[in-house]
Amino acid sequence: MEHSLVVMTYPRMSMYVGLSSLFRPPETMHICGGVQNSLLTLIQTSAQILQVEPVIQACAELSGYLTTMQDRPTESVLEEVSLEYTRLFVGPGPPLAYPYESVYRTPGGRVMGDCTLEILQMYQEEGLYPEVSYKDLPDHIAMEMEYMAYLCQKEEEAKQEGNDDAVRAYGEKERRFLDVHLASWVPQFCARIIKVTSLPFYRYWAIVTGEFISWDTQYIRSNHPEGRKHEQ
């Protein structure tokens, strides 16, 4: 198991870094390069190392779609993806797929629920504070993915230092954040995107996201079971 943990932590971190970027407002890097798109390459390579077959398959289909986008002016493609991002996740009316955990876990589907404040406290316990320029909520999907990437990074650093206690502590934080937070709402969020999006770009990425969260939840439960046993 120790060998598995050493091999797996870095590509898991890379997956979360990539997914965090994906759910931020689109930039040229998200759409350019076809099969050599930097974001696609990062996630595809990580999925291959982790052997997450549904993600590998979705990435293969996405690479074909990105290739077709190369035939069009970059400005036109970026505008199309940006409009869909706004329609799905921002508004001006109610977003079609709210990117906030509290909407899926709070009675009545309201933002800024108890889970939002709990997540903010978790960030602060790690000394993490949103940048002054950040105007969104702590339980936005991109922020939660970034936090998981941070936890994976800290676990990897602890391994490199030979600090077994810190490895276990950060592994337990990852397990709890997946069990209590990401796994409790991201599958529903991704299913909603697949249902309502008019653009294959976000449909493929929703498949990638949902499949990876499902895989990583099972992985972390198997490799960091101590906290789960304690809760039973």
The pTM (predicted TM-score) of the whole model is: 0.90
Pick from 217, 195, 215: which is nearest to 206 by CA? 195
What's the full length of the chain, in residues? 232
As a whole number of angstroms, the distance between CA 173 and CA 214 comes to: 17
Percentage of residues in the chain having pLDDT higher than 70: 91
As a whole number of angstroms, the distance between CA 18 and CA 227 comes to: 27
Pick the range with the lowest mean pLDDT from 16-30, 48-62, 110-124, 147-161.
110-124
Which two three-digit tokens encode residue 153? 């990074």
Residues 6+ apart with CB under 8 A from 228: 175, 179, 221
How many domains does the structure of the chain reveal?
A: 1
Sorting pLDDT into bands at 50, 70 and 90, what band is 37? Answer: very high
Is residue 22 within 8 Å of 140, Cβ to Cβ? no
Which two three-digit tokens encode residue 101? 């955990």
Pick from 60, 46, 52: which is nearest to 13 by CA? 46
Comparing 112 with 210, the larger pLDDT belongs to 210
CATH number for the domain that contains residue 10: 1.10.3480.10
117-176 pLDDT tens trace? 899 999 999 988 766 566 789 999 999 999 999 999 999 999 999 999 999 999 999 999
For the cut 70, the answer to whether the pLDDT of residue 4 exceeds it is: no
3-state secondary structure of 148: helix
Residues of the domain holding 172: 2-231
Pick from 61, 105, 26, 59: which is nearest to 208 by CA? 59
